[in-house]
Structure 1
């Protein structure tokens, strides 16, 4: 899958994360495909010059396709994803996201799904707060 997010920093420790992801694979012989768009507050600890841990709580829409959690057709439900991660600054504009882990909760067909999403990647910074 892939994971893209956009963060707006309102000050040095608080902002908002807009998060897009798609995940796919096979589970118990079924194709599993989900897409999500979520938004929520993010809290950032910037006391160290290079290492920046953060935590957020995201809320939004999760679309499960045929085969996900036993659904026979695509459906869109509300999802919640508390989580966080750590960025390491390489330059004023580039950081490496060492890890981001989110506990994604959805509810399809009246049954709760609990999943962990783990990602890593490159962070590009435009402007400062």
Structure 2
């Protein structure tokens, strides 16, 4: 469960302002903030895929309402979607706008994730 990686669940120093992580034993909740360019999106995607793989959550929720992507959302979601699918983990994109959804659909990721208009923080339950 997520307890196995309590010390490694934080994002690398350069991403901490843009990526906030919350978790309990079954759920990893990620909220993205600010402008996210391609190199940053790739780094976020790799790190979240690693957390998904080693933490074995039941569900991963990524909230996009406060994020502005310069380019595609795919570099964040594709590595996480692959890691989640291989482990039977549910992946949900929260509050994605029309452009973000079109980017994800263009990559065929709509088959690997669900969408929600609710804040992702609600998915984590009580603290």
> Do both proteins adopt the same fold according to a TM-score greater than 0.5, normalized to the shorter chain?
no
Kindly indicate which of the two structures has a greater share of residues assigned to strand: 1
Higher relative contact order (CA 8 A, sep 6+): 2
TM-score range, shorter chain: under 0.3
User: Normalized against structure 2, the TM-score is what?
Assistant: 0.25
